[in-house]
């Protein structure tokens, strides 16, 4: 379904209903891509009206973007909008991309000119390609008719090329930029998503200015939560975004404290969105930068994300920590002890080898570190003691009995050489159990907290230490 139709349908059903969307970019590594899908899956559970995936600068991620877009639409099952730029893209490549997504059932494109290729400072039209986003929009409409919903980029402060050294566009450049935006819409775009901004008044004025010149389609504010100070400076520098003085003042004292910056970013994003919503604009677009905490934090503050939407009822209070909200299994004996449960498990993904943790974690160890690395001499002994003809079930009972009596040194289910000394205390009982067919693979005699090498355990306390 086209995104514009989803937005219109939501507004028709309830004019106060707020819809939101998430933007992602193609990660650099294969693991990163896998992790992104997991993250998307979690975020899509919060019911965004659509998600979009960017087109790498200069077409650098073309194949990956196409693949991710396909999986988003068909596996994650979220309405997906793929970005497409003209940089380094002759029309055949543009059509290949459009036909691919059409064949995969996508109906939404964000049509962009793109930035100049790496190393050049001016956009150059590739031979057989397009000069600007408006030409791309025209091409899509001419060749694909009404099939695609087409979104274009809008710039509340004018496109950076129009912004001078003083940090602002001249009124004339600003008006030219607006007129050009209108021509993109007139060419067939049905939605505008804006560049990031941090001065909400500038965005609201931009919307008003667009309406004045006859742009009637929805204008969706692009909200980029501040995740870290340096990234914020880099991004705003690149886009020539105005930073209001109060934001600089708030960030300056906390700039080296990443957690504090993130919290402030969530607070600021929340306040910006509240003001935008109060002006009757009911669509929000979040630049997630492939992270979930800040985007979801803002939506939770706005009351747009309800835990209950993704929750099944649980016998414990669902965590609010976004890193754990998806958790729906706990060991039963910890379930009702939230404090000890949280403190015991908070660092689980940081085990040095991570053998039993999350395999996506960088610390997850290779399988070679455990059962496949047994000393070879031990393997030989195992085969000698256990790979023997077993003709009846009693033969199996007999093997287990011999092991419990200490007459076999190895067992397939333990790494230890023979039994722990204290097991001698109960090996008569173990013998009787195993002969009866209750095969024991683990046991612990009561030794009143003594160590295995304590004389009271190793000694002949029960007269059963005569193993050879
Ligand atoms: P256009 O709309 O073609 O033009 C940009 C500006 O150039 C106009 O605003 C106008 O000032 C001027 N201009 C161009 N043609 C004319 C004309 N005929 N007459 C008058 N003025 C003209 N980049 C990526 O590489 N990949 C992405 O996935 C991506 N996603 C983006 C998503 C959003 C929401 C936004 C806002 C930007 C995104 N960008 C992306 C960045 C974008 O490619 C750059 O900002 C690029 O410099 C301009 O692209 P555009 O589509 O806005 O260009």
pLDDT category at 358 given cuts 50, 70, 90 is low
Domains contained in the chain, CATH given: 3-301 (3.20.20.220), 329-373 (no CATH), 381-468 (no CATH)
pLDDT at 357: 52
**Would you say residue 371 has pLDDT above 60?**
no
Ligand 1 centroid – CA 434 distance (Å): 76
Percent of the chain with pLDDT over 70: 83
Verify whether ligand 1 is closer than 6 Å to residue 65 (CB atom): no
Across the range 433-449, mean pLDDT stands at 88
Ligand 1 centroid – CA 58 distance (Å): 13
The position carrying tokens 């991004």 is 235
Q: Whose Cα sits closest to atom 15 in ligand 1?
A: 132
Q: How many CB atoms lie within 10 A of CB 369?
A: 10
Q: Which of 5, 23, 172, 252 is catalytic?
A: 23
Q: For 117-164, how does the pLDDT look when each residue is reduced to its tens digit (9 = 90+)?
A: 777 778 888 999 999 999 999 999 999 999 999 999 999 999 999 999
**Which ligand 1 atom is nearest residue 123's CA?**
47
Across the range 306-317, mean pLDDT stands at 58
pLDDT at 152: 98
Q: For 379-421, how does the pLDDT look when each residue is reduced to its tens digit (9 = 90+)?
A: 778 888 888 898 999 999 999 999 999 899 888 877 667 788 8
Alpha carbon distance 146, 67 (integer Å): 24
pLDDT at 143: 98
Verify whether ligand 1 is closer than 6 Å to residue 78 (CB atom): no
Q: How many CB atoms lie within 10 A of CB 273?
A: 23
**Would you say residue 5 has pLDDT above 90?**
yes
| Cα–Cα distance list, 187 to 144, 191, 329, 369, 372 (Å) | 13, 12, 52, 61, 64
pLDDT category at 459 given cuts 50, 70, 90 is low
- pLDDT, mean over the chain: 86
């Amino acid at each position: 379904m086209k995104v514009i139709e989803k937005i219109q349908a939501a507004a028709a059903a309830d004019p106060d209903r707020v819809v939101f969307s998430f933007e992602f970019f193609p990660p650099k590594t294969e693991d990163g891509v896998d992790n992104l899908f997991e993250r998307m899956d979690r975020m899509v559970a919060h019911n965004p009206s659509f998600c979009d995936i960017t087109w790498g600068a200069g077409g650098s991620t073309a194949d990956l973007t196409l693949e991710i877009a396909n999986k988003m639409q068909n596996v994650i099952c979220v309405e997906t909008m793929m970005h497409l730029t003209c940089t380094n893209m002759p029309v055949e490549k543009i059509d290949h991309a459009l036909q691919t997504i059409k064949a995969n059932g996508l109906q939404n494109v964000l049509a962009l000119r793109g930035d100049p290729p790496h190393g050049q400072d001016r956009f150059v039209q590739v031979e057989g390609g397009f000069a600007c986003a408006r030409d791309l929009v025209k091409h899509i409409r001419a060749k694909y008719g009404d099939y695609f919903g087409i979104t274009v980029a809008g710039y509340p402060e004018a496109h950076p090329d129009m912004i001078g050294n003083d940090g602002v566009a001249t009124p004339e450049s600003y008006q030219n930029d607006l007129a050009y935006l209108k021509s993109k819409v007139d060419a067939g775009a049905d939605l505008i998503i804006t560049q990031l901004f941090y001065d909400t008044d500038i965005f609201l004025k931009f919307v008003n200015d667009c309406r004045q010149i006859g742009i009637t389609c929805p204008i969706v504010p692009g909200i980029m939560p501040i995740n870290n100070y340096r990234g914020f400076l880099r991004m705003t520098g690149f886009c020539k975004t105005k930073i209001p003085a109060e934001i600089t003042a708030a960030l300056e004292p906390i700039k080296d404290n990443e957690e504090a910056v993130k919290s402030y970013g969530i607070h600021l994003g929340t306040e910006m969105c509240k003001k935008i919503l109060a002006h009757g604009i009911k669509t929000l677009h979040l630049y997630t930068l492939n992270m979930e905490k800040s985007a979801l934090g803002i939506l939770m503050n706005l009351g747009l994300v309800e835990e209950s939407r993704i929750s099944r009822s649980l016998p414990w209070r669902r965590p609010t920590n976004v890193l754990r909200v998806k958790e729906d299994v706990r060991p039963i004996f910890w379930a009702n002890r939230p404090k000890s449960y949280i403190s015991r498990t908070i660092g689980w993904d940081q085990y040095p080898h991570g053998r039993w943790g999350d395999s996506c974690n960088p610390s997850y160890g290779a399988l070679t570190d455990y059962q496949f690395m047994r000393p070879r001499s031990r393997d030989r002994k195992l085969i000698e003691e256990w790979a023997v003809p077993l003709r009846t079930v009693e033969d199996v009972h007999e093997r287990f009995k011999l092991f419990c009596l200490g007459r076999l040194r190895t067992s397939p289910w333990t790494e230890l050489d023979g039994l722990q000394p204290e097991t001698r205390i109960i090996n008569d009982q173990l013998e009787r159990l195993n002969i009866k067919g209750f095969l024991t693979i683990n046991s612990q005699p009561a030794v009143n907290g003594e160590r295995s090498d304590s004389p009271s355990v190793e000694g002949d306390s029960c007269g059963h230490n005569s193993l050879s």
